[in-house]
Structure 1
Amino acid sequence: MLRLLLRLLLILLVLVLVLGLVAAAVGPLLIDPDPAEGETRVQALERPGSGFVGIGPPDGGEVTLHVAERTPAGDGAAAPTFVLLHGFTFNLYTWERIMAPLAERGRVIAYDQIPYGLSAKPLPGAGAHADPYAKSSALARLMTLLDTLGVEQAYLVGNSSGGTLALEAALAYPERVRGLVLLAPWVNSKRPILPQWLVDLPQTQRLTLLLARTLGTDMPLLDYAYADPGRIDEERRARAAVHQEMANWDAAWAALLARSLTDPVEIARQLTQIDTPALVITGAADRIVPPADTLAAARALPNATFAELPGCGHLPQEECPALVMDIIDQWLDQAPAAGDDRAAAH
């Protein structure tokens, strides 16, 4: 009798294991693969204070970027240009609270990096969109936008993964970057990197689509990025979700996520080669990029100044705009020069 019970228990365990494997293999395939419906006409998405710029990538075709610009009062011909680069899942509206005060210093340009905000939602394919979410493509789009808008040299202001892009631009095109303002730059990535064959599995593709929909619908990173989520008003939440108005946004987000699963962040190994003057800022309550990681990045840069802002999270430009502008103004007034080895992280 005992043997029979043990045999039945073994059969039950095997059955549970088999069912678990079947569920793992088949379950993701039940996720609806049809992309989100929405607007496809740029004209219908126009908003006060921003517009759309078509840029032609080197391999042909055109990508439409959602761009907001502020210019200084009076003659701003000699004033510097600031280009604002948002982070993962966010858009140009993350900079709203510092664009006007920053425009007192010079021309300010912010844009939605694809596939976020109201910029294009390309999918990987042939021609111009063969690999739209490679790091090299993001860098090429930034440089092409600067050329299109007639910007020869700019301060790059980057938050999180936007800080990563700013650093890569300073490394590849130092003559185009006058200075860097890095708010919690995403430098020391600890996420796993998966083999391409695993990412290409239909199950992984569907799970990636589900993750994209969760991140883009519920916007959980917005709350997590604040030290005090109670500071987020409904207008800010609405602006964070403007991508939902566009068709195929979820498929485009999923394509970016899939690319990131095989694309490691390697800029940390090259920081010592970037001598562009840099202001590196962390929020003391940042739960996404630990302040210690941001301090380490500042110390690795040859010409960096470090600042920690109390009571601020991962989006200090939103949560603590006055503190951010105070430290930027102080840094700009010091006007560090490229290659000046006097500056050090402190």
Structure 2
Amino acid sequence: MSNPEIGQMLDVKGVQTNVHDLGEGFPVLLIHGSGPGVTAWANWRLVMPELAKQRRVVALDMLGFGYTERPADQVYNMERWVTHAIDLLDTLEIEQTDLVGNSFGGALALALAIRHPQRVRRLVLMGSVGVPFEITPGLDAVWGYEPSFETMRRLLDVFAYDRSLVNDELARLRYEASIRPGFQESFAAMFPAPRQRWVDAMASPEADIRALPHETLIIHGREDEVIPLQTSLTLAQWIDNAQLHVFGHCGHWTQIEHSERFTKLVSDFLTEADRLQHSQ
């Protein structure tokens, strides 16, 4: 049986990278979060086919995550992740893209837009890291994950507001994903304790965020126990062309818990940019 988490393997400037590339039209790059055993497919499986009806959707496993190659030195930082994302755009000959970042991926999307503003058309930040905040017990538990089925089951309860989404089958799947060869080794190398420093390392300077010219859609779950709602309120204040959408009865998994509404919101926001481009 083929594994839906594996798209196509691309050589991205020497890094074997697992990429899903579907649909056609103006591209949107989806960047996943940093949960244990995460892949682009696990994060975006409900969103990709819907967005791909109108545009080209590209989602990759970031350096050190999922089925993408792990660097031999096991050194991970924003510079490396941003470079990997830009190298992918270069490899696919994408000059400009819309960018959707989830959690850790939001911090990465922010950093990318700051360093390479011309490569980004519009920005979507969901449950995003990227501004200073005190690490939550939820995020500390996510980054401090030690593989076991029971631990994964507890973590999924932290992620989702709607407990009916979290069953033993999903926990078993995510647990098994987290113990594939190499997965936990790279994950443990990314965010060792004390973990507040990794929150701080992912934050972009306030002046740089305030200088962003991009139209930005900020999305957050009101009951998010992993990344506090305050981070999105801060981003909405700092980014000039920002709009903020808060989902009630929603944890850290907006794209899964409110998949249809999330996808419509993102799709409408990006389609508006298509229209504006065509009318110019």
> What is the aligned length?
262
Instruction: Output one character per residue of 1:104-147: Cα deviation in whole Å (capped at 9) or x when no partner.
Output: 220101111232222223342xxxx6x3x021000100001111
Contact residue 6 and residue 18 of structure 2 kept, 8 A: no
Deviations 1:9-60 (A, max 9, x none): xxxxxxxxxxxxxxxxxxxxxxxxxxxxxxxxxxx9864761222222xxxx
Pick from 204, 218, 221: which aligns with 1:267?
A: 204
**Which one-letter code corresponds to 1:167 in the other structure?**
L
Query: In structure 2, what is the Cα distance between the partners aligned to 1:284 and 1:153?
Result: 32
Distance 1:142 1:169 in 2: 8
Identify if the C-alpha distance between structure 1 residues 238 and 66 changes in structure 2 by more than 3 Å, giving closer, same or farther: farther
Q: Which residue of 2 aligns with 1:16?
A: none
Higher-Rg structure is: 1
Residue in 1 that maps onto 2:139:
none
Which of 35, 38, 50 aligns to 2:7? It is 50
Deviation above 6 Å: which 4+ runs of structure 1? none
Report the TM-score, using the length of structure 2 for normalisation. Answer: 0.82
Equivalent in the alignment of 1:167: 110
Whole-angstrom CA distance in 1 between matches of 2:157 and 2:8? 28
In 2: Cα distance, 1:222 partner to 1:185 partner? 18
TM-score, normalised via structure 1 length: 0.67
1:112 aligned to 2:61? Answer: yes
The structural deviation recorded for 1:96 is 0.6
- How far apart in 2 are the matches of 1:271 and 1:215? 38
Report % sequence identity.
Answer: 25
**Deviation per CA, 1:136-165, whole angstroms, max 9, x where unpaired?**
000100001111122111111011010000
Q: 2:50 aligns with which of 79, 101, 106?
A: 101
Q: Distance in 2 between matches of 1:248 and 1:189?
A: 30
The 8 Å contact of residues 224 and 287 in structure 1, kept in 2 or not, is answered as: yes
Unaligned runs of 5+ in 2: 137-142
Matches within 5 A, 1:218-237: 218-219=151-152, 220-233=154-167, 236-237=170-171
**Structure 1 equivalent of residue 122 of structure 2:** 179
Written as runs of structure 1 = structure 2, the 5 A alignment for 1:235-250 is 236-237=170-171, 240-241=174-175, 243-244=177-178, 246-250=180-184
* 1:69 corresponds to 2:21: yes
Contact in 1 for aligned 2:222/2:247 (Cα 8 Å): yes
Displacement of 1:211 in angstroms is 3.7
Checking the alignment, whether the CA contact within 8 Å between 2:147 and 2:178 is kept in structure 1 is no
Q: Tell me, what secondary structure is at the counterpart of 2:192?
A: helix
- Which of these residues, 70, 74, 91, is aligned with residue 39 of structure 2? 91
Task: Describe the superposition over 1:213-267 as per-residue Cα deviations: whole angstroms up to 9, x where unpaired.
Answer: 3489833433211111321356644553464463232221121113985552331
User: Matches of 1:134 and 1:48 in 2, distance apart?
Assistant: 24
The within-5 A match list for 1:1-346 is 47=4, 50-56=7-13, 62-71=14-23, 76=24, 79-89=25-35, 90-92=38-40, 93-124=42-73, 131=75, 133-187=76-130, 188-191=132-135, 211-214=144-147, 218-219=151-152, 220-233=154-167, 236-237=170-171, 240-241=174-175, 243-244=177-178, 246-258=180-192, 261=195, 262-263=197-198, 264=200, 265-267=202-204, 269=206, 270-335=208-273
* Secondary structure class of the residue paired with 1:285: coil
Q: What is the rounded CA distance, in whole Å, between the counterparts of 2:5 and 2:226 in structure 1?
A: 32
CA change 1:277–1:236 in 2 (3 A) is farther
Flag the 1:160–1:215 CA change in 2: closer, same or farther, 3 A. Answer: farther
Query: 3-state SS of the aligned residue for 1:218?
Result: helix
